[in-house]
């Protein structure tokens, strides 16, 4: 301020500070990138297991391992707890049309079938168990969505309904053969808790399950994966097989009605989702014969 300004009683003029105009950052139109932008900017907080091709990429298992991704299972596939009133109830001797959510016991499972099985979403998922010696693969039908909960259960059912190769049967111990033979007889009996004669004469992989035929959920168990596979394979989970339960009269009626509806659809020419047998053309099936029955009885 000059002496002249002080004398005149004038206040000096100060140029105002100019603020830059707000930046309008365009959000990319790609679903995955747009979802990541919204998540990072707190625009919304969607359920990571929401259905649809949104909220995160679909990774291959080896990529997930390289990135060090922490994989979570959809809670719908988890084992039920004592205080849980909504979980999947399914006797694996029957196809997945007989699976239902306990919160909706009067209808076959629909809600959640198309939800991602994992977060982040994976191109395929491996399943192992203490109840059987195989590794079951569930692969995503839609690469934009990843493996869904429904695809995991469908893969389990399709594999369990596959025929057993002769070399697999012959590699078992005598005591294990006797147990599988007893399971075979029970599963083809007239009891209402088993499929019965429609399973056919061939030995099925589900005959390994025995009394532990109830879906008990999937769990993350790195120690068992390493023990079973010899290495810590990514996107590999343990299937819990629990003792089956007798159907209530109401469950039996509903199961019969669902089976009748599926047979009606099949008679009109529609094919079910049953996958082909995993056996190759050069592998022999185990077809139970009188000679085999006598061998097991001895």
Residue 231 lies in a domain: yes
Which pTM value belongs to this model? Answer: 0.72
User: Which range of residues forms the domain containing residue 163?
Assistant: 49-264
- Is residue 272 scored above 80 in pLDDT? no
Residue 120 has which token pair? 């982040």
Tell me whether residue 242 is in a domain: yes
28 within a domain of the structure (yes/no): no
pLDDT at 265: 61
In angstroms, what CA-CA distances link 18 with 15, 21, 23, 164? Answer: 9, 9, 15, 79
174 domain-assigned = yes
The reported pLDDT for the residue numbered 83 is 81
Confidence category of residue 256, pLDDT binned at 50, 70, 90: low
Q: Is the pLDDT of residue 176 over 60?
A: yes
Looking at the structure of the chain, the number of domains it has is 1
Residue 269 lies in a domain: no
pLDDT of residue 234: 92
In a domain, 246, yes or no: yes
Give the H or E element holding residue 260: helix 249-267
Per the model's pLDDT, the better-predicted residue between 160 and 281 turns out to be 160
In a domain, 43, yes or no: no
Among 128, 156, 124, 133, CA closest to 226: 128
Q: Please check whether residue 298 lies inside any domain of the structure.
A: no
**pLDDT tens, position by position, 201-240:** 999 999 999 999 999 999 999 999 999 999 999 999 999 9
Contact 194, 186 (CB under 8 A): yes
């Amino acid at each position: 301020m000059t002496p002249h300004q002080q004398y005149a009683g004038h206040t000096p003029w100060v140029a105002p500070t100019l603020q830059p105009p707000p930046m309008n950052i365009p959000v990319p139109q790609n679903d995955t990138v747009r979802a990541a932008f919204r998540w990072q900017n707190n625009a919304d907080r969607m359920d990571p297991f929401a259905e649809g091709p949104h909220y995160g990429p679909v990774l291959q298992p080896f990529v997930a391992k390289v990135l060090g991704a922490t994989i979570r299972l959809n809670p719908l596939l988890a084992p039920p707890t004592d205080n849980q009133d909504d979980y999947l109830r399914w006797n694996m001797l029957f196809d997945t049309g007989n699976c239902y959510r306990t919160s909706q016991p009067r209808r076959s499972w629909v809600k959640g079938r198309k939800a991602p099985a994992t977060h982040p979403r994976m191109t395929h998922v491996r399943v192992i168990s203490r109840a059987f010696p195989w590794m079951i693969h569930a692969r995503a039908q839609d690469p934009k969505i990843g493996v869904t909960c429904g695809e995991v259960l469908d893969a389990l059912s399709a594999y369990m309904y596959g025929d057993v190769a002769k070399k697999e049967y012959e590699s078992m111990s005598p005591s294990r053969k006797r147990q599988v033979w007893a399971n075979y007889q029970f599963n083809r009996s007239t009891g209402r808790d088993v499929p019965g004669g429609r399973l056919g004469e061939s030995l099925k992989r589900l005959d390994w399950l025995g009394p532990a035929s109830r879906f008990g959920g999937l769990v993350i168990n790195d120690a068992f994966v390493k023990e079973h596979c010899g290495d810590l394979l990514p996107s590999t989970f343990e299937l819990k097989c629990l003792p089956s339960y007798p159907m209530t009269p109401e469950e039996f009626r509903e199961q019969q009605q669902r089976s009748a509806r599926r047979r009606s659809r099949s008679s009109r020419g529609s094919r079910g989702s049953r996958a082909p047998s995993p056996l190759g053309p050069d592998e022999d099936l185990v077809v139970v014969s009188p000679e085999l029955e006598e061998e097991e009885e001895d």
